[in-house]
Structure 1
Amino acid sequence: MTTFLAILLVAAMIAVVVVLVRGLVVFLASATEDVKNGGDGPSAAALKSNKMMQYRIFFQAIAILIVVLILFLASGR
């Protein structure tokens, strides 16, 4: 069970990193687009960047819950 949770934890941490990097790339692209165009309101790229950061927070919460579960199971032994 602990091995399974460790694998899930690694997968969650990888998901956090992937979403973070993707969100940063989208953010930089949207910032460049906004500077060039001087747009009114958020662009589609800015909204996508915001969504990616929301996914990052979601995956971080999952990773934290898995760590808590692993610690809980380890303390019961």
Structure 2
Amino acid sequence: MANTPHELHEEFPEKRQAISDLKSSDGHFARLFEEYHEVNRAIHRAETNVEPTDDLHMMELRKERMVLKDEIAKCLAEV
């Protein structure tokens, strides 16, 4: 899914190197990164009707993505 919107490297283009470094050196960040991508891919699959879902579930997924992105942004702000 190379065309998945909201990939972290697109969301934080100035932090590409920090993202790469933290993924390999910080276990907590690596877990956040993977969780974000799992949720983001699920949203993309739902939006493209590959795996349709109801509105409530979509809203929950988007909220989860937002929370994860906020946590990731905090980690990136510290480097």
TM-score, normalised to structure 1, is 0.57
Over the matched positions of the two proteins, sequence identity in percent amounts to 6
Q: CA deviation at 1:7?
A: 1.6
Q: Which has the higher contact order (CA 8 A, sep 6+)?
A: 1
**Which stretches of structure 1, 4 residues or longer, exceed 6 Å deviation after superposition?**
none
Identify the match of residue 38 of structure 2 among 11, 18, 32.
Answer: 18
Alignment of 1:1-77 (within 5 A): 6-27=26-47, 28=49, 29-30=52-53, 45-69=54-78, 71=79
Give the helix-richer structure, 1 or 2: 1
Tell me which structure has the larger Cα radius of gyration.
Answer: 1
| Root-mean-square deviation over aligned CA pairs | 2.1
Q: For structure 2, list consecutive stretches of 5 or more residues without a partner in the other structure.
A: 1-21
TM-score, normalised to structure 2, is 0.55
Alpha-carbon distance in structure 1 between the residues aligned to 2:76 and 2:32: 10
Q: Deviations over 1:18-64 (max 9, x none)?
A: 0111223334214xxxxxxxxxxxxxx12101110110011011011
Q: For structure 1, list consecutive stretches of 5 or more residues without a partner in the other structure.
A: 31-44, 72-77
